[in-house]
Chains A and B, each alone.
Chain A
């Protein structure tokens, strides 16, 4: 009995504490300040990044010498096969995977390695992530209300209970779910709806930068279109920057402004979405393009699949391939001989 009373007392105390807690406001918004000081087009900059894991005492380098700029307000598609390290890159930006060397900056402020706790906290309000499998990434035991507002609670980004509810029901409406669903649990929803909840959870934080890690790979064909539309809608409304990770070029083409093709931890080609489809240069990009299924039996039966063999380049030790800019905004990984060849190819295809 006494125990019960004690518990009640504690919970009431907690409630008071919770209500009196002030809304999270960073003492200095380093990122905004840095942006004001030197307004820059680039939001995330990765410089010579190396990511490795230790497996059984052996260090395995997943990504080495990675340089990648993500521009403000764009959707950058990151395409590659499974195991190529595309998810690892996404997770490194949001500090889930540690970076061994090199640096990642956000608005010209360092965010990799050891950084002040306050900066890390601030960063996590700015960057959000959408995960692949909507059934695995939602807590089965929590209701939607809790799932969506978990981020808000963690940073106390609301004035009072009413404000929080308003925010949540507002976001639910925006992703096309009814506010009365808030008391339900994830298993009561279909795959598409679950992914919408995942998007709502991400967007309620009002992020500047979103990492979408294969958000539609696990979904049905008819639902994919809904989720793609939703991400694009949010991007236009909030001026988001999105890193869109996928393995299917056809989907990325529809949604992204620029596309980076990654193979075995190295970016092999980077170009504007239309240009990459017009003038693919690297053989791996070509093989990816040929693998996209076309919904036409006549064409599909006659097409040949290009299989990429990494040994075809014959790179030697003194002849290390580098990332060259073959034309404006179009980068490709090649050695000098290949670079000439690619340039000739571009001449044949013609300008933009």
Chain B
């Protein structure tokens, strides 16, 4: 396997919540490396801790949550150690962005779509306080220097100096004005005046070397560009619309555009398609894939649907009861699943079911975190559970370079068991499903 750069390195992460004075442990001993440019999917039921896990990357843990041990390394910095919200603002949104499940709740219904995108652009282009402080000192020094220079000059030299300065400024202004004019398509008098004002401001900034954010009009232009990028038709017209005027799929596209605005290194998609139709879902997935190719970010994709994951993921981590129970490449998980929980998830997919037999499902409920879990958290619902599963938690056992699973069944001393019927017939059933659904597309490449 090629050596890849790690973007995020999670080591021995444990996390819990305090509720009514009672500590509950939600995540336990998670090790995970996330590589640059890949798509990692985290799969699990609701209540398995998958959302909580990714919230530690952006510091959005609820106030009663605490990280008891471990580290999350990102760009040489331990994210666990950050306590300050100002420091988080440099990472959250700017370097690690998140798309949430319900686009209606992540957009503000009171502001127009355009405003919400350009707001992000303007906020993140704004100079920080330190930059401004630095600028102030620089400016002070420059003025002192100019003063001392002027004192040494004769009267005529001084006149020349100011003349020069004026000419330089007007040249720069002309340049800026022309540049801005060229960018605009339709120009009327009012707009020309506005552009003049912008050019004047820009020139002033450039002469004074002042750090500055982008103007409102510039932000609008970039926002429209972003809307086009996420394939919203009539982007110029829809800029002024409000979230309620958009359909569910379009809203999710807008949320993606907002996440795109800062060119993040890592994009966390927290069940982005659960609230959407299948047709819209496939379009959104395609969009995320295309944009990832263009901007080359790393995607962390959270979902409970294994079908969705097959499309998008390079690697998959299966979570259960606050632990990663199996991880590997997409091929590992789909063609050679090793953990009983992955078996159960795969066999409950209705796409693979046939009419003459009832669909298999996982009995019982996910474990409650209120009590400490002894042994394997999946043992109670696992029909393949061994006696040892109830006593001790299995270690992560490596199967191949890329594939590991956390189950005692892989231990040398474990008895051989018959895998469930669906898993044995998995490839055939997948092919059958594909034949039925994609007959129109002619030959299907089944791979090896």
Which A residues contact B (CB, under 8 angstroms)? 81-83, 190-193, 220-226, 228-229, 232, 247-251, 253-254, 277-278, 280, 286-308
Q: Are A277 and B436 neighbours in the complex by a CB distance under 8 Å?
A: yes
**With A and B bound together, what is the CA distance between A294 and B434 in angstroms?**
7
Residues of B in contact with A (beta carbons under 8 Å apart): 45-47, 247-248, 277-283, 286, 304-311, 313, 330-331, 334, 344-346, 348-353, 355, 358-362, 365-366, 427, 430-431, 433-434, 436-438, 440-441, 444-447
* Known A221-B348, A296-B334, A302-B444: A81·B365 in contact at CB below 8 Å: no
Q: How far is the CB of B356 from chain A (nearest CB, A)?
A: 11
- Across the interface, A303 reaches (CB within 8 A) one of B344, B345, B366, B444, namely B444
User: Could you tell me the distance between the alpha carbons of A81 and B307 in the complex, rounded to whole angstroms?
Assistant: 19
3 closest A-B pairs by CB: A293-B307, A225-B361, A298-B447
- Given the complex of chains A and B, what is the CA–CA distance between A308 and B280 in angstroms? 11
B361 lies within 8 A of A222 (CB): yes
Considering residues A83, A293, A308, which has the most beta carbons from chain B within 10 angstroms of its beta carbon? A293
Asked if residues A295 and B436 are in contact (CB atoms below 8 Å), the reply is no
**Which residues of the partner chain B approach A299 to less than 8 Å between Cβ atoms?**
310, 430-431, 434, 438, 444-446
Residues B278 and A229 in contact, CB atoms below 8 Å apart = no
Given the complex, which residues of B lie within 8 Å of A289, measured CB to CB? 436-438, 440
**Is there contact, CB below 8 Å, between A307 and B440?**
no
Across the interface, B313 reaches (CB within 8 A) one of A223, A297, A308, namely: A297
Contact for B430 among A226, A253, A295, A306, CB less than 8 A: A295
Which A residues lie within 8 Å of B45 (CB)?
220-223
| Interface of chain A: mostly helix, strand, loop or mixed | helix
Apart from A81-B280, A289-B437, 20 more pairs, CB < 8 Å:
A83-B247, A190-B366, A191-B46, A220-B304, A221-B349, A224-B350, A250-B350, A277-B436, A290-B437, A290-B438, A290-B441, A291-B278, A296-B427, A298-B447, A300-B311, A302-B445, A303-B434, A303-B438, A305-B282, A307-B279
Known: A299-B438, A304-B441. A292 touches B351 (CB 8 A): yes
With A291-B281, A305-B283 known to touch, is A254 a contact of B353 (CB < 8 Å)? yes
With both beta carbons as reference points, the residue of chain A lying nearest to B43 in the complex is identified as: A221
The answer to whether residues A297 and B330 also contact, given A221-B348, A222-B344, A305-B286 and a CB cut-off of 8 A, is: yes
Tell me which of B306, B309, B434 has the highest count of chain A C-beta atoms within 10 A of its own C-beta: B434
When distances are taken between beta carbons in the complex, the residues of chain A under 8 Å from B444 are 299, 302-303
CB-defined contacts of A286 to chain B, threshold 8 Å: 440
Most chain A beta-carbon neighbours within 10 Å: one of B279, B305, B306, B441: B279
Query: Are B361 and A296 within 8 A (Cβ)?
Result: no
Task: Decide if B277 touches A247 in the complex (CB within 8 Å).
Answer: yes
In angstroms, Cα B441 to Cα A302, docked, is: 10
Q: Is the CB of B282 within 8 A of A293?
A: yes
A244 to chain B, nearest CB (A): 12
Given contacts A222-B344, A225-B361, A229-B358, contact A295 B277 (CB under 8 A): no
B352 adjacent to A295 (CB under 8 Å): yes
Q: When chains A and B are docked, how far (Å) is the Cα of A82 from the Cα of B344?
A: 30
Provide the residues of chain B in CB contact with A293, threshold 8 Å: 278, 281-282, 305, 307-308, 310-311, 351
How far is B331's CA from A61's CA once the two chains are assembled, in angstroms?
A: 48
Q: Which of A81, A247, A300 contacts B310 (CB 8 A)?
A: A300
Shortest CB-to-CB span from A50 to chain B, Å, is: 24
Which residue of chain B has the shortest Cβ distance to A229 in the bound complex?
Answer: B358
Complex Cα–Cα for A132 and B206 (A): 58
CA distance A250 to B277 in the complex (A): 12
Cα(A303)–Cα(B280), bound, Å: 16
> A83-B247, A247-B278 known; A295 and B351 CB under 8 Å?
yes
Closest-by-CB residue of B relative to A232 is: B358
| Residues B306 and A221 in contact, CB atoms below 8 Å apart | yes
- Nearest chain A CB to B435 CB, angstrom units: 10
Q: How far is the CB of A194 from chain B (nearest CB, A)?
A: 12
What are 25 pairs between A and B in contact, CB < 8 Å?
Answer: A83-B247, A222-B304, A222-B348, A222-B361, A223-B361, A229-B359, A247-B277, A247-B278, A250-B350, A251-B350, A277-B437, A291-B282, A293-B305, A293-B351, A294-B434, A295-B310, A295-B346, A295-B349, A296-B310, A298-B446, A299-B438, A302-B445, A305-B283, A306-B440, A308-B279
Contacts of B330 in A (CB 8 A): 297
> Chain B residue with minimal CB distance to A247?
B277
Chain A residues within 8 Å of B362, by CB: 222
Contact for B351 among A81, A83, A190, A294, CB less than 8 A: A294
Question: When chains A and B are docked, how far (Å) is the Cα of A302 from the Cα of B47?
Answer: 33
Establish whether residues A224 and B282, one from each chain, have CB atoms under 8 Å apart when the complex forms: no
A292 and B437 contacting across the interface, CB-CB below 8 Å: yes
Q: Which residues of A contact B358 (CB under 8 A)?
A: 229, 232
Residues of B within 8 A of A81 (CB): 277, 279-280
Cβ–Cβ < 8 Å partners of B313 in chain A? 297
Interface centre among A83, A254, A277, A300, by most chain B C-beta atoms within 10 angstroms, is A300
B44 (CB) vs chain A CBs: closest residue = A220
Who on chain A is nearest to B314 by CB? A297
The answer to whether B360 touches A225 (Cβ under 8 A) is yes
Q: Quick check: A254 and B445 within 8 Å, CB to CB?
A: no
| Contact A221–B304 (Cβ < 8 Å) | yes
Q: How far is the CA of A249 from the CA of B436 in the complex (A)?
A: 12
Closest to B276 in A: A82
Which residue in chain B gives the minimum CB-CB distance to A228?
B359
Instruction: Name the residue on A nearest B361 (C-beta).
Output: A225
**Set B304, B310, B355: member contacting A294, Cβ < 8 A:** B310
Is A295 a contact partner of B306 (Cβ separation < 8 A)?
Answer: yes
